[in-house]
Amino acid sequence: MADLKAQFVAAVAHSKQLTERPDNSTLLKIYGLYKQATIGDNADKKPGFSDMVARAKWEAWDGCKGTDSDTAMQQYVDLIGSLD
């Protein structure tokens, strides 16, 4: 558990130093997994259609609903690791 947490923290730091910017769908997946790992299931109100960015982020996070924190952390670590 502590090892996974350390890997997750390292992956978060590494995500800010990627040589290439990931595509939007990958960025949304990163966002959703991060929120799921750090906060848990999305309980926020769904943004309206006029705020497309907030709505896309909400949907990415909501798509991770039911995933436990450790699994989300591992998926995040794996995804960031695959981007180099």
Q: What is the 3 state secondary structure string of 15-80?
A: HCCCCCCCCHHHHHHHHHHHHHHHCCCCCCCCCCCCCHHHHHHHHHHHCCCCCCHHHHHHHHHHHH
Query: What pLDDT band is residue 4 in, cutting at 50, 70 and 90?
Result: very high
Residues in the chain: 84
For residue range 43-82, list pLDDT tens digits in order: 999 999 999 999 999 999 999 999 999 999 999 999 999 9
Domains in the chain: boundaries: 2-82
Q: pLDDT value at position 84?
A: 74
CATH domain 2-82 topology: Acyl-CoA Binding Protein (1.20.80)
Q: What is the pTM of this model?
A: 0.93
Q: What is the distance between the alpha carbons of residues 70 and 17, in angstroms, rounded to a whole number?
A: 23
Give me the mean pLDDT over the 12-24 stretch.
95
Query: What pLDDT band is residue 1 in, cutting at 50, 70 and 90?
Result: low
The token pair at 75 is: 């998926």
